[in-house]
């Protein structure tokens, strides 16, 4: 069997106990949340008898171990339950909201990488100069400002003062209709439908929240790029390449940058995982209908099914992301696939 395929299968096998642990822990932690979902579902005017009847209908009156096995049975059928806050199946809610969060996060990380990686390389090639000092000030300022504050400032400047940004209310301005659902990513769906007016409208709506996240994620990516490039440029093989008369561009990008990519990719994976789960403040500021705001609303009302579905979806995404990173490692450095 191919060494890389064996590595991938091994990583998938390692992920199974992780997912099993997430299922158990998320089930136990949601039961420890304050509040009673049956009381929320019954309403403020309900009496104890009505609440008890609803609790029985939801299966919350049964022993914890019995509830867990019922949950596993539903999970094996792909049934994540029904969200009390929306009245819809959790899997439908996640399928409707997850593309919005993924589109925002991926666009923000693309924007962040387009700035952070060249900036880190530039700072590493000029250590101790004014460019390096300016780089440190910029990345420190980016990570120091809370995302909700950055978002409000961007809205105030570009929407309120300059009037060049659309209203920060969701994924599309009210003048546009949502593109036909194919992937859930508005930019992709609008391009497939050849509706470039809606595509441009979705892009404009995406810029401010993506810029808010990009300013926050720029710092760790830029810092890791700078540190990895400094380490690579001080290595013996780089000195040998320079002594052999290779061109500066070949040494910098063909050898140093390629060897610096591995820690940068690791950082990028961690930043992506953190951003996807923690962009709830940005989603709230820009009224973005993503998975983060959905999870917070579910937590407020102790909606067990919705919280468990969110945690499980995040765990699966994290496992998939780690698998992608491992594959990228093997493509960048073939020696990894042989270990």
Average pLDDT over residues 19-24: 82
Most confident of 1-5, 209-213, 252-256: 209-213
**CB-based burial label for 45 (10 Å; 0-12, 13-18, 19+):** exposed
Going by C-alpha positions, the residue among 212, 82, 201 that lies closest to residue 152 is: 212
Distance of CA 136 to the CA centre of its chain: 25
d(CA 220, CA 108) in angstroms, rounded, equals 14
Question: What residues does each domain of the chain span?
Answer: 3-76, 92-300
Q: Give the per-residue pLDDT at 27.
A: 80
Global confidence as pTM: 0.80
Going by C-alpha positions, the residue among 283, 299, 329, 313 that lies closest to residue 90 is: 313
Please state which architecture CATH assigns to domain 92-300: Orthogonal Bundle (1.10)
Q: Give the per-residue pLDDT at 209.
A: 92
d(CA 253, CA 247) in angstroms, rounded, equals 10
Place of tokens 């997912």: 19
Going by C-alpha positions, the residue among 297, 288, 291 that lies closest to residue 155 is: 288
- Round the average pLDDT of the chain to a whole number and report it: 81
Is 107 in contact with 100 (CB distance < 8 Å)?
A: no
Q: Give the per-residue pLDDT at 338.
A: 45
DSSP state for residue 179 in the 8-state scheme: P
Cα dist. 192→181, 198, 210, 229, 273 in Å?
10, 11, 22, 39, 28
d(CA 210, CA 214) in angstroms, rounded, equals 6
């Amino acid at each position: 069997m191919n060494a890389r395929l064996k590595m991938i299968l091994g990583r998938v096998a390692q992920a199974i106990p992780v997912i099993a642990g997430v299922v158990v822990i998320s089930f136990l932690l949601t039961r420890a949340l304050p509040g009673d979902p049956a009381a929320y579902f019954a309403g403020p005017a309900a009496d104890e008898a009505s609440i008890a009847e609803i609790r029985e209908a939801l299966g919350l009156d049964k022993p914890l171990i019995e509830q867990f096995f019922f949950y596993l049975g539903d999970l094996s059928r792909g049934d994540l339950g029904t969200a009390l806050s929306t009245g819809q199946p959790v899997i439908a809610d996640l399928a409707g909201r997850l593309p919005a969060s993924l589109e925002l996060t991926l666009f923000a990380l693309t924007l962040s990488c387009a700035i952070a990686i060249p900036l880190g390389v530039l700072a590493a090639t000029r250590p101790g100069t004014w460019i390096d000092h300016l780089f440190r000030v910029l990345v420190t300022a980016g990570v120091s400002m809370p995302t909700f504050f950055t978002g409000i400032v961007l809205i105030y400047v570009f929407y309120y003062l300059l009037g060049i940004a659309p209203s920060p209310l969701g994924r599309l301005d009210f003048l546009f209709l949502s593109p036909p659902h194919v992937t859930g990513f508005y930019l992709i769906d609008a391009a497939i439908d050849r509706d470039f007016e809606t595509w441009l409208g979705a892009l404009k709506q995406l810029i401010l929240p993506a810029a808010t996240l990009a300013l926050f994620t720029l710092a760790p990516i830029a810092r890791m790029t700078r540190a990895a490039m400094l380490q690579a440029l001080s290595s013996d093989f780089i000195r040998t390449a320079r002594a052999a008369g290779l061109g500066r561009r070949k040494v910098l990008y063909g050898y140093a940058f390629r060897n610096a990519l591995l820690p940068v990719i690791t950082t990028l994976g961690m930043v992506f995982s953190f951003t996807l789960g923690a962009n709830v403040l940005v989603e709230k500021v820009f009224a973005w209908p993503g998975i983060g705001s959905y999870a917070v609303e579910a937590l407020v009302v102790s909606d067990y099914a919705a919280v468990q579905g969110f945690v499980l979806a995040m765990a699966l995404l994290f496992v998939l992301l780690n698998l992608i990173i491992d594959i990228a490692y093997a493509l960048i450095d073939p020696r990894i696939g042989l270990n």
